[in-house]
Amino acid sequence: MPKNRNTFSSLTAWRRRVLSRAVHGGWRWVQEAGAVTAEHPGRLRFRGLGPGTRLAFPQGTVFGEEWIVLGDHCIIAEQVTLTAGMMPGLDLGADPILTLGNGVVLGRGSHVIADAPVTIGPDTFCGPYVYITSTNHSYDDPHTPVGRQWPRSEPVEIGPGCWLGTGAVVLPGARIGRNAVVAAGAVVRGEVPDHAVVAGAPAKVVRSWDPEKGWQPPLRTPAPVPVPDGVTPEQLLALAELKKM
């Protein structure tokens, strides 16, 4: 009897392994087939979709593609929402409404809602669940539900080379300068200068770059050591293994 039980358990485990491999392999195939690229745009027809840019599957809500321009080599993770206009089917005019520069990264679950123009500069990286919008609800009339009042819209501009941490929120009218850092969970209104770090809700400058003094207040961690020229990935892996010993 114990022998039969062991045989049954082994057979069940084998079936589970086979099923698991099949499910994971099938999901990888679905992800590859459902990804959007310039060569395989699927149902989406963006105004511009640069080479090397990829929208991972499954995509979030996407509409108004005719007014959306995605630069070269952008990475759009799973469940990212990209919208131009308040709803599908609107004529938004001749100019693009949402523009991503080359090399922009949008982390999983992020939202970019562009009713007024939104521009994200090249090489800007966004962590997961970042929310960028050019439209906000208004509540002027105390007798009308907020969701039924006409919203306010202002353009949003994010400069090149920025980093927006997980859960950061960028509100209408925001202008973020070059190589700025928005801390996780920060809520940005107004203007952020070049080479500044902002945090909090509303976001305030907590660190900035001075050409003569460097970062003020000074950084508390040492600068990362650059990888020497000519070092291969295999050598770096071997070095990491040596450090574990």
Return the closest-CA partner of residue 177 out of 156, 163, 191.
Answer: 191
Q: Which amino acid appears at position 175 of this protein?
A: R
CA–CA separation, 54 vs 198, rounded Å?
29
Backbone angles phi, psi at 184, to 5 degrees: -55, 135
| Cα 149 off chain centre by | 29
Q: For 151, which DSSP code?
A: P
| CB within 8 Å of 132: residues ≥ 6 apart | 110, 111, 112, 113, 118, 120, 126, 156, 158, 169, 170
Enzyme catalytic residues: 137
